[in-house]
Amino acid sequence: MTPAEIAALESKMDDIRPLLAEADDLYRTVATVLAPVILIGPQSVAQHVYDMQAAYESDDDDALGKAEVAFRDSVRKVLGSFR
């Protein structure tokens, strides 16, 4: 690689680093908020949390949308059982 190509790549990395930090912060926030769901359960709801995370990490918008709907529906079902 030429020095100019290396400089261009380094410049792009400087642009990407803040985005990676932002994604890490978001991941930590989501993990913190959803930790009680994972620990307390039920397992069906916790599994949907894992499914959402896997879809997010794979950058699969379709799977993420489906996982979010499944999570929401399962939470509603559990909460509705307390009525």
Res 30 pLDDT > 80: no
Domain ranges of the chain: 3-80
Average pLDDT over residues 20-38: 81
Task: Label residue 35 by pLDDT band (50, 70, 90).
Answer: confident
Distance, in Å, from the CA atom of 17 to the CA atom of 29, rounded to the nearest integer, reads 19
* Buried residues in 66-80 as b, exposed as e (16+ CB within 10 A): ebeebbeebbeeeee
